[in-house]
Amino acid sequence: MCDRFATDPEFGGQFEWTGFGSTVEYRRRWEEDRLLGASPYNLVVAASDDDRPVGWVNWRDTDRAGPGAWEIGILIDPNERGRGAGTAAQSLLVDYLFATTPTHRIWAGTEIENTVEQRALERCGFRQEGLLRGHHFRDGEWRDSYIYGITRDDNPNRPRPH
């Protein structure tokens, strides 16, 4: 999947294809730490019926928010989209990060036209918090993004770290 993401425009699709990338870095990280030893951390999204890999989620430290907050991302295989995997995976990731790390805040940025991701985040309990104009460059234009966030206080019933 990582190789496809770096080399196949169809795999990332409209919102995630930003040009050809190197496949070397993913492979180096896979050999060194299975993509889990340092930020950005990655987990596979596996189908509940037969465990096949259908995508991945990731989370990272960012300078802007500083310690105590994770930025998350997700990509589901184009053949597996629209069946609930993206919503389920991000909901599970929020539970996982609030349970295994003391983070207070989890956030995601998504392009204003990416209504499917916005819907998925809202289903997971994220709130739309703001608009970043000209946030990133894609397909010949600077694009606006919404910021979505969820805090531990938003979810008193979620698991707590031990």
Do 122 and 104 form a contact (C-beta atoms < 8 A)?
no
Question: How many binding residues for ligand COA (CB under 6 A)?
Answer: 20
| Cβ proximity to ligand COA, 20 vs 28, nearer residue | 20
User: Taking CB under 6 A as the rule, which mask of x and - marks residues 32-71 in contact with ligand COA?
Assistant: ----------------------------------------
Q: Does 2 bind ligand COA (CB under 6 A)?
A: no
| Cβ proximity to ligand COA, 49 vs 153, nearer residue | 49
- CB atoms under 10 Å from CB of 154, counted, come to 14
**Sites of contact with ligand COA (CB under 6 A):** 13, 15-16, 74-76, 81-87, 110, 114, 116-117, 119-120, 123
